[in-house]
Structure 1
Amino acid sequence: MDIIKNKINDTIEFYKWSLSIADKRVEKWPLMDSPLHTLAISSTYLLFLWLGPKYMQGREPFQLRKTLIVYNFSMVILNFFIFKELFLAARAANYSYICQPVDYSDDPNEVRVAAALWWYFISKGVEYLDTVFFILRKKFIQISFLHVYHHCTMFTLWWIGIKWVAGGQSFFGAHMNAAIHVLMYLYYGLAAFGPKIQKYLWWKKYLTIIQMIQFHVTIGHTALSLYSDCPFPKWMHWCLIGYALTFIILFGNFYYQTYRRQPRREGMSSAQCTCYKMVIGNIVALRYNIDIG
């Protein structure tokens, strides 16, 4: 029992110590005083992920066309704002793309970088709505492990990033990812208009390719920072490399299943296609306990 108490006390002391070295500029910003807010939001997301499909069982899917158009184009604007702010503030602060330590001062450009990164963190929380809309529209097959893993980890891990390193090297990944999300939500916004527009959206698969390139660039950039002994938390560098590798594997598998394996199915006979769709439908039904009979 004493061992457990000591472990708990050590954990509490470590947490208090970690707060003492956190970025003082952000501690009074929304959601930043404690990790509990972020964990509560993420827990609510996971709870809805479990209960949502059960609620939709036996109900007609919502169409949400206008809602999706507004949502996706709002995300285009938000991500463009983040990209623009990071680009301009980093340029004004003479940021290096090779090695940029965190400046915790109240310099206007540094605070602007921190604020843009905070908005980036907030955008990851807003992106939970992607899953909510999938569930309300009964697009359950699109809620893959990659989808949930990406959404949950990004929002949670970026709280850590903003709390301790809201600047410096952190700007690079957010800057690049925000630009990609402008293109991604532009695609989704246009696709929400329906078949008349969708037939022109031939470039969907290139979004996945761009995302995979992003993760390779992230690993290269992080490795360069380690090689140059950049004064940025090394444990964060190593964790980022490992994290990016998981996305390369998951997005690579998604690309193969969607754009390499899928064309082979086009050569199936009508009976084979029907059988394949029934199998997929049954898998989804079992996953969410939905009656498809």
Structure 2
Amino acid sequence: QRKAVTMLRNIVSNILEFHNYLLQRTDARVKDYPLMQSPVEMTTILLTYVVFSVYVGPRLMANRKPFHLNTAMVVYNLSMVVLNAYIVYEFMMSGWATTFTWRCDLCDTSSSPQALRMIRVAWLFYFSKYIELLDTVFFVLRKKQSQITFLHVFHHSFMPWTWWWGITLTPAGGMGSFHAMVNATVHVIMYFYYGLSAAGPRFHKYLWWKKYMTAIQLTQFILVSVHISQYYFMEKCDYQVPLWIHLIWIYGTFFFLLFSHFWVQAYIKGNRPPVTVDKPKQNGFISDDITVVTNGKHLENGVAHHYSNGKILPGKVKEV
């Protein structure tokens, strides 16, 4: 029993020591931004999101009719188009379209107007990931559990969690911020697509380009991977946190492989079942079950997953 108590004390002591270390390492320029004071707040929010998405939400809606939230979804998606377009603009004006070389761009540790502008937009990109959790909330309330896949939940929770560390240690991340700008650019297109889809059947004729959404995603990962790969071929690049370089390269390559697999299965081998169509509902309308998932996911590797008693189970490939 004494050994157990001693072990517990050591664990708590190590956690507190690491927490104090983080507080000391947190960039002074970002300390006063919301959700940047400690990893506890953001971890709590994201864990709550996971529990709601996988367990609580589906059970609350089990014996309820799905909500018809098309108006709210149109407003939400078009608002996200505007927000992401602003993020792209700010990334460009705070370095990528002004002073960056697009090669070995180091983290800016100064308090210059450009550095502070980069910090603001990097934090805004990070904060937008919490707003995007509403994607899943809409799925839950509309009883679209088949679209709440493992990778959907994992990506929506893991990305803001990892970005907290990046914003904490290197808020003006230089070449490490390129993937965020590209991702925000893709989200402008994605949320515009979502907005048209939610607007009703009369707009679905304008969604003929849904096939190319996967191509847009593949292009995103190619751009990110190629850009960050330059680091490995430069004679000298004193980027302050090489770990970010390695993680971004792994991320870009991993998702490129997933999307390539989906592209082959869906558009070369043609392993796509017919589009499912919801039946007309009272106070509603017929709507195609069109699925395009933001944040670098397009039906998560082309695999739809289905709920059974709150558990996420693998299903078949659905048309995208």
Which interval holds the TM-score relative to the shorter structure? 0.7 to 0.9
1:172 equivalent among 173, 178, 181: 178
Letter in 2 for 1:123: S
Whether the 8 Å contact between 1:38 and 1:156 is mirrored in structure 2 is: yes
Aligned to 2:253: 245
Rounded Cα–Cα distance in structure 2 between residues aligned with 1:232 and 1:48? 38
Rounded Cα–Cα distance in structure 2 between residues aligned with 1:188 and 1:217? 23
Whether the 8 Å contact between 1:190 and 1:198 is mirrored in structure 2 is: yes
Shift of 1:96: 2.0
Shift of 1:170: 2.9
Aligned residue-pair number: 273
Rounded Cα–Cα distance in structure 1 between residues aligned with 2:247 and 2:96? 27
Shift of 1:261: 5.9
Gaps of 5+ in 1: 267-282
Which region of structure 1 is more displaced relative to structure 2, 119-128 or 139-148?
139-148
Aligned to 1:127: 132
Rounded Cα–Cα distance in structure 2 between residues aligned with 1:286 and 1:240? 34
Any idea what SS the aligned residue of 1:102 has?
coil
Rounded Cα–Cα distance in structure 1 between residues aligned with 2:86 and 2:272? 41
Rounded Cα–Cα distance in structure 2 between residues aligned with 1:105 and 1:44? 36
Shift of 1:37: 1.5
Any idea what SS the aligned residue of 1:284 has?
strand
For residues 32-79 of structure 1, the C-alpha deviation after alignment (integer angstroms, 9 at most, x for no partner) is 011111111101111211111111112111110100000000000100
Change (3 A) 1:154 1:180: same
Identity %: 38
2:68 paired with 1:46: no
2:104 equivalent among 99, 105, 111: 99
After TM superposition, the structure 1 = structure 2 runs for residues 192-211 of structure 1, keeping only pairs within 5 Å, are 192-211=198-217
2:308 paired with 1:286: yes
Gaps of 5+ in 2: 275-304, 312-320
Rounded Cα–Cα distance in structure 2 between residues aligned with 1:259 and 1:287? 33
Letter in 2 for 1:216: I
Cα RMSD, aligned residues only: 2.3
Shift of 1:118: 0.5
Whether the 8 Å contact between 1:45 and 1:128 is mirrored in structure 2 is: yes
2:189 equivalent among 183, 196, 208: 183
After TM superposition, the structure 1 = structure 2 runs for residues 210-249 of structure 1, keeping only pairs within 5 Å, are 210-228=216-234, 229-249=237-257
Whether the 8 Å contact between 1:146 and 1:251 is mirrored in structure 2 is: no
Any idea what SS the aligned residue of 1:117 has?
helix
Rounded Cα–Cα distance in structure 1 between residues aligned with 2:18 and 2:149? 35
2:144 paired with 1:139: yes
Rounded Cα–Cα distance in structure 2 between residues aligned with 1:187 and 1:126? 18
2:173 paired with 1:151: no
Aligned to 2:65: 60
For residues 189-218 of structure 1, the C-alpha deviation after alignment (integer angstroms, 9 at most, x for no partner) is 111111111122011232222112212222
Q: Which has the higher contact order (CA 8 A, sep 6+)?
A: 1
Rounded Cα–Cα distance in structure 1 between residues aligned with 2:230 and 2:97? 23
Change (3 A) 1:25 1:70: same
Query: What is the TM-score of this pair, normalised by structure 1?
Result: 0.85
Aligned to 1:28: 32
Any idea what SS the aligned residue of 1:59 has?
coil
Which structure features the higher share of helix residues? Answer: 1
Shift of 1:134: 0.5
Whether the 8 Å contact between 2:266 and 2:272 is mirrored in structure 1 is: no
Query: What is the TM-score of this pair, normalised by structure 2?
Result: 0.78
Change (3 A) 1:242 1:47: same
Change (3 A) 1:92 1:254: closer
For residues 238-291 of structure 1, the C-alpha deviation after alignment (integer angstroms, 9 at most, x for no partner) is 12222223322433444455545665535xxxxxxxxxxxxxxxx8352537xx
Letter in 2 for 1:191: S
Whether the 8 Å contact between 2:96 and 2:102 is mirrored in structure 1 is: no
